[in-house]
Structure 1
Amino acid sequence: MRRNTFLKSMAAMAMVGTLPLSARAGATIKMMIPANPGGGWDGTGRAFGAALIDAKVADAVQYDNKGGAAGAIGLAQFVNSAKGDPNAMMMTGAVMVGGIITGKPAVSMDKATPIARLTSEYNVFVVPADSPLKTMKDVVAQMQKDPGSVKWGGGSRGSTEHICASMLATKVGVDPKKVNYVAFRGGGEATAAILGGNVTVGGSGYSEFAEYIKAGKMRAIGVTSEKRLPGINVPTMKEMGYEVVLGNWRGVYGAPDITAAQRAALTEMVIKATKSKVWLDALEKNAWTPALMTGKAFDDFVDNEFSSLRGVMHLSGML
């Protein structure tokens, strides 16, 4: 094929959207963030969008926040509006898996296209700085005395912090059905409730609370990791005698009905973005653990997450 004919052919393919993203100039990614601004998905999604631009695999990223129902509302909108769109991505993770298990929404994650797991993060529990409850042992004692008097604040019903609160209840002899859990549509709302003293204990990824902990506005009283997190002097639930260990992963999905080639192109973009300086800086700043996984391994991981979280939630009395 002559060079000029080839170039015309490439241009025509780009105009109709059939050229793989990695070969297309000026791609604009449409990023669905299925949560309100200010939370973990929002922070991860915007940091990853900046990484896509920094890696020069996208020229721009448009964000659409749609919170509620552990991400199920945003998921439904994404599935219905982005069908076949090779430029669309959606943030997802363990919170959405848990929400689907408990809420049984009409649209599940299997309607979209798995692309990659990005990070893993453990939950940290905090109390307002002026709370009379100084430690997790204080919280447990109060919960054992009067479960309803301890208001746990966090993400949607079925989120990892909700699961952990229920797990803790079962470990200390409290009926998990009596856990007073207050669900919020986004991390910003949960943070405001904690700072305002409207909930007793808040739970989320460390990155969401880090600035308030460092400023002395929140007190971190426990983290759900197996061992203490590097550089973060917060006792684990396990070392305090509570067998509550649970991680929270976050990742990205593509639109429904994209082709195998388009999925491969998105995967290539994601891999390149995770090597960018912007992304590496975000990992360090937010204490996120890099956990890149793609392809069949990621497909299988999500299937296993549904099985394992369903089992944990059943044992915790949530189902």
Structure 2
Amino acid sequence: MKKMKWLLLTLALVVLSSVLVACGDDSSDAESTDELSGSVAVDGSGTVYPLMARIAEEYMLTEGEGVSVEVARSGTSAGFKKFLEEDGTDFNDASRQIKTEEQQTADELGIEVKELKVALDGLTFVIHPDNDWATELTEEQVINIFKADSDINNWSDINPEWPDEKINTYGPNENHGTYEFFYESILEEADLKSDVDLQQDYSTLVTLVNQDENAIGFFGFGYYVNNQDQLGAVHVDFGDGPVEPSLDTISEDGAYAPFTRPVFTYLNLNHAEEKAQVLDYAIYLMENVNTFAGETGFAPLPEEEVQTEVDFLKGLTE
């Protein structure tokens, strides 16, 4: 009888120990799979905004349900001002590279900045959908339409058979990297005509061009793609015949190369090291950027370029 009691007691202790071990394992698993929380602040380029907003939306739906990724679009230059300050934004989207003076500000503040190239964009010149005469222009003609010292003011100055009407020009203002790319890289810093209508909001530019039969404006390819029911796109002849801006032609060594540019987001590495959700989002961003580039109007990057950045970011977790 005593032997039986001893066996029962031993069996009970074994069962109790198993339960405690199992409970301990559950606790460990729960701690290791704790959901990330907090926020990620992104600002900057209006051109890059559609891509970054789409990735942020997907991240919050599928990967970081406890993280709020807030994407704004104040423009590249205005965004850098918010990025390069104490407790600034975590990312700044940019349709140009960081300037020397901006990098100097980062250095002075002790902000370690990581440039992440995210896609390729084609500068697109848009016209009214009823404009059936200026659908093909040479690179020189496009430039001279906007240059202050050119003789092109009316459509008929390009071709006497075209309307003898003043060309009304539109584009993004100085807050935008697209303006800076156009001014610095395309116009080579030549003065613009004084009456170019420069706007902060891209949707305003779409409306202005759509309502003006003699309009021509410029912005990133994505805004044309998303509004092509309201706009026409100029096919540009760079010397070998007119080229339509498209995901197939937008490339750094392709047919639309002279008007192609890389676009970026800049990561505050200090924040990435301090806030787990910022680094997690950065890794997700680069792992998925090519997936969403095409649907938002950007040409994807070579996979090896993307993988290099993913490897760098994952290295920060080690």
TM-score, length-normalised on structure 1? 0.59
Q: Distance in 2 between matches of 1:274 and 1:224?
A: 34
Asked if 1:113 is matched to 2:117, the reply is no
Contiguous gaps of at least 5 residues in structure 1: 12-21, 299-319
Aligned to 1:52: 59
C-alpha distance 125-112 of structure 1, shift in aligned 2 (>3 A): farther
C-alpha distance 176-200 of structure 1, shift in aligned 2 (>3 A): farther
Are the equivalent residues in 2 in contact too, given 1:115–1:263 (CA < 8 A)?
no
Question: Which of these residues, 204, 211, 214, is aligned with residue 189 of structure 1?
Answer: 204
The 5 A counterparts of 1:92-131 are: 92-95=93-96, 97=98, 100=99, 108=105, 111=111, 113-114=113-114, 116-131=116-131
CA drift of 1:120 comes to 2.0
Aligned to 1:25: 35
Are the equivalent residues in 1 in contact too, given 2:60–2:69 (CA < 8 A)?
no
C-alpha distance 212-263 of structure 1, shift in aligned 2 (>3 A): same
Question: Which of these residues, 179, 182, 190, is aligned with residue 164 of structure 1?
Answer: 182
The 5 A counterparts of 1:172-187 are: 176-180=190-194, 181-187=196-202
Q: Distance in 1 between matches of 2:143 and 2:113?
A: 41
Asked if 1:248 is matched to 2:262, the reply is yes
Query: What secondary structure, in the 3-state scheme, does the structure 2 residue paired with 1:116 have?
Result: strand
Query: What secondary structure, in the 3-state scheme, does the structure 1 residue paired with 2:52 have?
Result: helix
Contiguous gaps of at least 5 residues in structure 2: 1-20, 154-165, 314-318
Are the equivalent residues in 2 in contact too, given 1:124–1:221 (CA < 8 A)?
yes
Are the equivalent residues in 2 in contact too, given 1:30–1:62 (CA < 8 A)?
yes
Q: Distance in 2 between matches of 1:91 and 1:163?
A: 17
Asked if 1:91 is matched to 2:92, the reply is yes
Asked if 1:72 is matched to 2:77, the reply is yes
The 5 A counterparts of 1:265-280 are: 266-276=278-288
CA drift of 1:113 comes to 3.0
Question: Cα deviation per residue 1:214-257 (whole Å; 9 max; x = unaligned)?
Answer: x1x211114699986666689x9x969xx8344131224136x4
**CA RMSD in angstroms, aligned pairs only:** 4.7
Q: Distance in 2 between matches of 1:116 and 1:24?
A: 28
Question: Cα deviation per residue 1:9-32 (whole Å; 9 max; x = unaligned)?
Answer: x97xxxxxxxxxx97523233222
Query: What secondary structure, in the 3-state scheme, does the structure 1 residue paired with 2:53 have?
Result: helix
C-alpha distance 184-233 of structure 1, shift in aligned 2 (>3 A): same
Query: What secondary structure, in the 3-state scheme, does the structure 1 residue paired with 2:35 have?
Result: coil
Q: Distance in 1 between matches of 2:144 and 2:281?
A: 49
Aligned to 2:232: 219
CA drift of 1:48 comes to 2.0
Query: What secondary structure, in the 3-state scheme, does the structure 2 residue paired with 1:163 have?
Result: helix
CA drift of 1:71 comes to 2.8
Aligned to 2:157: none
Q: Distance in 2 between matches of 1:258 and 1:71?
A: 20
Are the equivalent residues in 2 in contact too, given 1:206–1:287 (CA < 8 A)?
yes
Q: Distance in 1 between matches of 2:106 and 2:209?
A: 31
C-alpha distance 272-66 of structure 1, shift in aligned 2 (>3 A): closer
* Aligned positions, number: 259
C-alpha distance 58-89 of structure 1, shift in aligned 2 (>3 A): farther
Aligned to 1:314: none
Q: Distance in 1 between matches of 2:171 and 2:263?
A: 20
Asked if 1:283 is matched to 2:293, the reply is yes
Percentage identity across aligned positions?
A: 7
Matched to 1:122, the amino acid is: G
Question: Cα deviation per residue 1:163-211 (whole Å; 9 max; x = unaligned)?
Answer: 33665556xxxx9224455433232233233223398322222111113
Asked if 1:154 is matched to 2:167, the reply is no
TM-score, length-normalised on structure 2? 0.59
Aligned to 2:15: none
Are the equivalent residues in 1 in contact too, given 2:120–2:300 (CA < 8 A)?
yes
C-alpha distance 230-75 of structure 1, shift in aligned 2 (>3 A): closer
Aligned to 1:16: none
CA drift of 1:129 comes to 1.7
CA drift of 1:126 comes to 1.0
Query: What secondary structure, in the 3-state scheme, does the structure 2 residue paired with 1:290 have?
Result: coil
Question: Cα deviation per residue 1:57-103 (whole Å; 9 max; x = unaligned)?
Answer: 45332425362xx43333333443535xxxx6323223363xx46xx
